[in-house]
Amino acid sequence: DGGITQSPKYLFRKEGQNVTLSCEQNLNHDAMYWYRQDPGQGLRLIYYSQIVNDFQKGDIAEGYSVSREKKESFPLTVTSAQKNPTAFYLCASRRTGGYTGELFFGEGSRLTVL
């Protein structure tokens, strides 16, 4: 089945450690996105990528980094510079060109920093 896979689903880390969240899609989508969601809040855009080897900052990119070396993969690193990293992280993808279709989301990764 085509879809987006995020891992791990739950992650606990100590303060000051970098953490990398995985996002893989087999939908052949060019565009991929990372969102952060805090309790009771909407989704806020961290980074997005419209093509391999290119990505842009979203609204809250500070303390995060990404790479897009393959079309299928868009990992997110939460660095020690992120002041409040505990949150629910969502990855999404969509087509580009012509009618681009809807966003497909993964099931999310819940990061807790102790």
Task: Using alpha carbons, select from 36, 34, 46 the residue that is nearest to residue 73.
Answer: 34
Q: Is 35 in the site for other proteins (CB under 8 A)?
A: yes
Q: How far is Cα of residue 71 from the mean position of the Cα atoms in its chain?
A: 14
Cα–Cα separations (whole angstroms), residue 41 to 35, 46, 105, 109: 12, 15, 17, 16
What gap in Å lies between CA 14 and CA 27, rounded to an integer? 34
Give the number of C-alpha atoms closer than 13 A to the C-alpha of residue 13, restricted to the C-beta side: 22
Q: Is 23 in the site for other proteins (CB under 8 A)?
A: no
Q: Is 44 in the site for other proteins (CB under 8 A)?
A: yes
Q: Is 58 in the site for other proteins (CB under 8 A)?
A: yes
Interface stretch with other proteins, choices 11-19, 45-53, 62-70, 79-87 (CB under 8 A): 45-53
Interface stretch with other proteins, choices 15-23, 25-33, 60-68, 74-82 (CB under 8 A): 25-33
Q: Is 111 in the site for other proteins (CB under 8 A)?
A: no
Binding stretches for other proteins (CB under 8 A): 30-31, 33, 35, 41-45, 48, 50, 56, 58-59, 88, 90, 92, 94-100, 102-108, 110
